[in-house]
Structure 1
Amino acid sequence: MAIVTGDRYLEKLVKFVEEQAGPLIDGTLVLKLNPAGLHYVNSRLESLHELENLLSGAPVDYLRAYVSDLGDHRALEQLRRILRLLTELKVVSVLPLPTRDPTPICLVPFGRLRVLELRGCDLSTSAAKGLLELRHNLEKIICHNSTDALRHVFASRIAEIKDSPQWNRLSFVSCACNRLVLMDESLQLLPAVETLDLSRNKFAKVDNLRKCTKLKHLDLGFNHLRSIEPFCEVGIKAIKL
């Protein structure tokens, strides 16, 4: 089997994105990347940004060498423009379950995402760069087999929960199949959530739903729950245990 190198991956991605720009931007087609591929794309886009910062005042010979090393910088510019316009993205590991890909996730190029799906990524090893900045746009997030704690998805790692920003547009959350133990305080940052899927984890206690005032559908199937008393605190229309 032929091995696709980073440059080859990028070349194929650039071609695909250019050919399918319309459907990708209008949401009829969803871009799907693996963590390693996304990491390489980000490294090249960061190099492009460095090049742009060097354009004023740098020696011509130096710039020529830099551009040569970067490759087709015009193609990268086009790729960056399209990625900024995407409203939906999937990042899916190619590793067999239940393995998680430890490659760091960076979502900085995707400033307008409304739907994000992460499968087999490892957000517990390192924070997903740019994820919290998407809270102004993100309406739906699916995070399966990708974290050991809800706060690694929804809260800042360097601040207390009370100082972390809220997700005021996020109405659909699915964090199933993560082997989660605690419904931690980061759930208090989801005031707009209407559908919450926390099935197939290891919760023994229902907690921190009091501020989820718009919650209508809650799935806690295949957990280790011993009591359902906290459900009385919120007006949930449909509960699955």
Structure 2
Amino acid sequence: MAIVTGDRYLETLVKFVEEQAGPLIDGTLVLKLNPAGLHYVNSRLESLHELENLLSGAPVDYLRAYVSDLGDHRALEQLRRILRLLTELKVVSVLPLPTRDPTPVCLVPFGRLRVLELRGCDLSTSAAKGLLELRHNLEKIICHNSTDALRHVFASRIAEIKDSPQWNRLSFVSCACNRLVLMDESLQLLPAVETLDLSRNKFAKVDNLRKCTKLKHLDLGFNHLRSIEPFCVLSHC
């Protein structure tokens, strides 16, 4: 699907999703959006929600003007229904590496995701809205060139790690190529992780893996590690 913007982007997306609804819902086809396009879709869905809240009491002329501005709200309703059923999503920036797209990411419409891939987004400048709510469903996350800290992916920015809920279904995590410096305490929120790829970052020390009791595959290649001693400790957890 060509990268376009605004209403044209939305029209193209609506048509694509309606035509491919079956494969998208059963997971044989994966929806891929760019951050700016995702942001625009969210803004239109939020407008749809506002319209629905107004339906009970607003003057008819006002509603007609609002619907005209919103465009085909029935198509948006159908898009919203399908997005709610998707189990896999890719959000990939079109900007050249290593640039990150600063457009805020909102995953609220995708409440059933089991697999999420983020590339070239910027979760450190602004939190990905709706990401933490996916912890009940998400089984696999790929987050490349999208964050400066692991806790920006796995934990709230305002709560202590000890007070943060765990990701009890997340078994595959790849946070490679993020310029990460610390294996911070948010790793303690991943008790179900079996595959953990933290390669191509800037770690000098292995830390906070004690609660990753199901860990089978760990990739720390192309970091700045100076000692393998922490692995000896980990093997006795």
TM over 0.5: yes
Q: Which consecutive segments of 4 or more residues in structure 1 shift more than 6 A?
A: 238-241
Is the Cα contact below 8 Å between 2:116 and 2:141 reproduced in 1?
yes
Percent identical pairs in the alignment equals: 97
Unaligned runs of 5+ in 2: none
- Post-superposition CA distance 1:167-203 (Å, at most 9, x none): 0000000000001000000000000000000000000
1:192: which partner in 2?
A: 192
Contact 2:108 2:130 (8 Å CA) reproduced: yes
Over the aligned positions, Cα root-mean-square deviation in angstroms equals: 2.4
Q: Distance in 1 between matches of 2:146 and 2:59?
A: 45
| Cα deviations by residue, 1:93-152 (Å, 9 ceiling, x for unpaired) | 000000000000000000000000000000000000000000000000000000000000
Contact 1:121–1:145 at 8 Å: present in 2 too?
yes
Report if aligned partners of 2:3, 2:9 keep a CA contact under 8 Å in 1.
Answer: no
How big is the shift at 1:229?
Answer: 1.4
1:220–1:240 CA contact under 8 A, matched in 2: no
Report matched runs for 1:3-82 at 5 Å: 4-82=4-82
1:148-172 CA-to-partner distances (Å, cap 9, x unmatched) read 0000000000101111110000000
Number of positions where the alignment pairs a residue of Structure 1 with one of Structure 2: 236
Judged with a 3 Å threshold, the aligned counterparts in structure 2 of structure 1 residues 136 and 2 are, in CA distance, closer, same or farther, namely closer
Q: Which residue of 2 aligns with 1:174?
A: 174
Shift of 1:231: 1.5
Aligned counterparts of 1:139 and 1:113: Cα–Cα separation in 2 = 9
Contact 1:175 1:197 in 2 (8 A): yes
CA contact (8 A) 1:218 1:239 kept: no
Please say which of residues 222-231 and 63-72 is displaced more in the overlay. 222-231
Taking structure 2 as the reference length, the TM-score comes to 0.97
In structure 1, the gaps of 5 or more residues are: 233-237
* 8 A Cα contact 1:218 1:240, kept in partner: no
The offset of 1:24, in angstroms, is 0.1
CA shift, 1:2, in A, is 11
Cα distance per residue 1:2-39 (max 9 Å; x no partner): 99331000000000000000000000000000000000
For 1:239 and 1:217, the matched residues in 2 are separated by: 13
User: Secondary structure of the equivalent of 1:240?
Assistant: coil
Q: How much has 1:240 moved relative to structure 2?
A: 18
Q: Name the CA distance, whole Å, in 2 between partners of 1:88 and 1:226.
A: 37
Provide the rounded CA distance (Å) in 1 between the counterparts of 2:152 and 2:236: 25
Q: State TM-score, norm by structure 1.
A: 0.95
What is the rounded CA distance, in whole Å, between the counterparts of 1:210 and 1:3 in structure 2? 43
**Aligned residues of 2:33 and 2:90 also touching (Cα < 8 A):** yes
Q: CA deviation at 1:56?
A: 0.2
The 8 Å contact of residues 39 and 105 in structure 1, kept in 2 or not, is answered as: yes
Distance 2:118 2:21 in 1: 22
